């Protein structure tokens, strides 16, 4: 897919000129407090706690080391349940658990669409995010990109959105449809060196393109609050597992992008006003076998699968990698409930929990009749092709956030941060409380910011 510039109208060039020349589009005051929140997808705490055990040399991640030495560091950040990308990112900017903020999974519970949709749309949020609060206060907001951002409260937006199966639009088409201001992406295609083909939306190239957009938006518009999501390390860990050379490469790549952000803030003389926060949404665990739960349920007639799609169900799995949520069409149907319990009890590959057994750390998904936690080495994908049990090695997440390798970490540097502070632990919701405090936003959360401020 290529960009189509023959539709370039007077309006398009007007928009580009406005962005380029700086007229009429919002800009943060150069001495206003600002926060850059970088989420490195799948950033594992264990890599920093014990680099040698995970294939890293002393000098492999110099920019993370610089953040730790010149700023503050939380060794382990516990994420939410399910430990999935969209729920975790939303907790990071709301201070609430998924059941409260409404993003309970990467994908909404739509079995009749075979779960092919994602929570792309900000309309799904049940509580305001920091971006909403910032915009209400007249601050300038940016996402380059951020999950659950389409139609969200952003002055500058590269949305996270991809086509569902059967959509005729490409990822680039969708991004261009929802970017803000309109034609932001065309601007970069024309002036920013953005590669205008499908390679632009995958792997390293996607992160390189997003990095260019982040840098341009930040340096020209000085947003007060920017969310910036680096994605490739998660892709690499899913594909290869935790300790593969490609994963090491992906972390070194993320480190170099962060170094470039540090250099940009330095070049713009923005450190007195800017706090840079670098964290992750979850870690990763390795697996050797996939368990396709809807295929198993279909073997007992509880799900009907035709042509690779779900077209009927009495009990269905909403799979989340390291966990799965089983829902009954009729929760009062004790016969179906007993059959499901019978199918899933005493399996070597899972622990079956009922909602009444759920410890507080596993609250998050709003309504499930059964909750499955994958045992070590197993993974629950959403695939619908038989057989139900398939050898497949790689990495994943989604499961119990108390698992050590699912923990992430957090670095903060710059304005208001006490240099050299090291904390043992925090929770993803506390990151939101930290940013609310830095920008004086009225966030309603019980989470407290990690204690590393340089003044009381």
Query: Where do contacts with Zn ion occur on this chain (CB under 5 A)?
Result: 41, 85, 234, 281
- Toward Zn ion, which CB reaches closer, 234 or 286? 234
Residue reference for tokens 């390679």: 199
Beta bridge partners of 39: 229, 279
**How many other CB atoms sit within 10 Å of the CB of residue 332?**
7
Q: Contact 309/115 with Cβ under 8 angstroms?
A: no
- Toward Zn ion, which CB reaches closer, 40 or 302? 40
Q: Choose among 359, 364, 375, 387: nearest CA to 318.
A: 364
Residue sitting closest to Zn ion (CB): 85
Least CB distance from residue 438 to Zn ion, whole Å?
24
Q: Choose among 88, 107, 198: nearest CA to 429.
A: 88
Q: Contact 394/240 with Cβ under 8 angstroms?
A: yes
- Toward Zn ion, which CB reaches closer, 34 or 211? 211
Task: Using alpha carbons, list the distances in angstroms from residue 259 to 99, 263, 277, 358.
Answer: 36, 6, 13, 42
Q: Please tell me the distance from the alpha carbon of residue 446 to that of residue 427, in angstroms, as a whole number.
A: 12
- Toward Zn ion, which CB reaches closer, 179 or 235? 235
Least CB distance from residue 241 to Zn ion, whole Å?
16
- Toward Zn ion, which CB reaches closer, 186 or 281? 281
Tokens (6 digits) for 130: 């920091």
Least CB distance from residue 190 to Zn ion, whole Å?
31
- Toward Zn ion, which CB reaches closer, 100 or 281? 281
Residue reference for tokens 């792309």: 120
Least CB distance from residue 230 to Zn ion, whole Å?
10
Least CB distance from residue 88 to Zn ion, whole Å?
7
Q: Give the DSSP letter string of 198-239.
A: GGGGSHHHHHHHHHHHHHHHHHHH--SEEEEEE-HHHHHHHH
- Integer-rounded Cα radius of gyration of the chain: 22
Least CB distance from residue 41 to Zn ion, whole Å?
4
């Amino acid at each position: 897919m290529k960009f189509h510039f023959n539709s370039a109208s007077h309006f398009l060039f007007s928009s580009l000129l406005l962005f380029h020349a700086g007229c009429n589009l919002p800009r943060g005051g150069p001495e206003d407090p600002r926060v850059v929140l970088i989420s490195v997808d799948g950033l594992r705490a264990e890599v920093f706690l014990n680099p040698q055990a995970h294939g890293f040399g002393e000098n492999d991640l110099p920019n993370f080391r610089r953040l730790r030495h010149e700023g503050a560091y939380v060794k382990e950040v516990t994420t939410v349940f399910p430990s999935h990308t969209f729920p975790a990112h939303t907790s990071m900017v709301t201070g609430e658990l998924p059941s409260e903020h409404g993003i309970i999974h990467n994908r909404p519970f739509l079995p009749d669409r075979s779960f092919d949709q994602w929570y792309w749309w900000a309309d799904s949020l049940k509580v305001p995010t920091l971006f909403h609060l910032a915009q209400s206060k007249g601050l300038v907001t940016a996402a380059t990109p951020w999950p659950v951002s389409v139609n969200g409260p952003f002055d500058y937006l590269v949305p996270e959105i991809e086509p569902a199966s059967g959509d005729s639009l490409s990822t680039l088409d969708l991004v261009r449809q929802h970017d803000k201001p309109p034609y932001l992406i065309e601007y970069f295609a024309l002036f920013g060196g953005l590669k205008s083909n499908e390679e632009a939306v995958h792997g390293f190239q996607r992160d390189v393109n997003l990095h260019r957009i982040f840098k341009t938006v930040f340096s020209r518009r000085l947003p007060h609050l920017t969310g910036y999501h680096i994605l490739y390390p998660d892709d690499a860990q899913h594909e290869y597992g935790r300790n593969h050379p490609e994963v090491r490469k992906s972390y070194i790549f993320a480190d170099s992008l962060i170094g470039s952000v540090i250099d940009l803030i330095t070049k713009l003389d923005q450190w007195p006003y800017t706090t840079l926060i670098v964290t992750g949404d979850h870690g990763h665990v390795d697996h050797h076998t996939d368990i396709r739960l809807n295929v198993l349920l279909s073997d007992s007639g509880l799900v009907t699968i035709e042509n690779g799609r779900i077209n009927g169900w009495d009990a269905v799995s909403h799979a989340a990698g390291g966990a799965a949520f089983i829902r009954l069409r009729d929760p009062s149907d004790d016969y179906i409930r007993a059959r499901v319990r019978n199918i899933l009890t005493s399996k070597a590959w899972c622990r079956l929990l009922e909602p009444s057994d759920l410890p507080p750390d596993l609250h998050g998904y709003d309504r499930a009749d059964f909750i499955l936690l994958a045992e070590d080495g197993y993974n629950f994908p959403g695939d619908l092709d038989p057989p139900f049990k398939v050898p497949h090695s790689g990495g994943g997440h989604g499961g119990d956030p108390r698992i050590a390798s699912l923990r992430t970490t957090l670095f903060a540097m710059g304005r208001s941060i006490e240099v050299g502070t090291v904390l043992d632990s925090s929770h993803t919701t506390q990151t939101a409380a930290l940013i609310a405090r830095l920008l004086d936003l009225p966030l309603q959360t019980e989470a407290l910011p990690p204690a590393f401020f340089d003044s009381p």
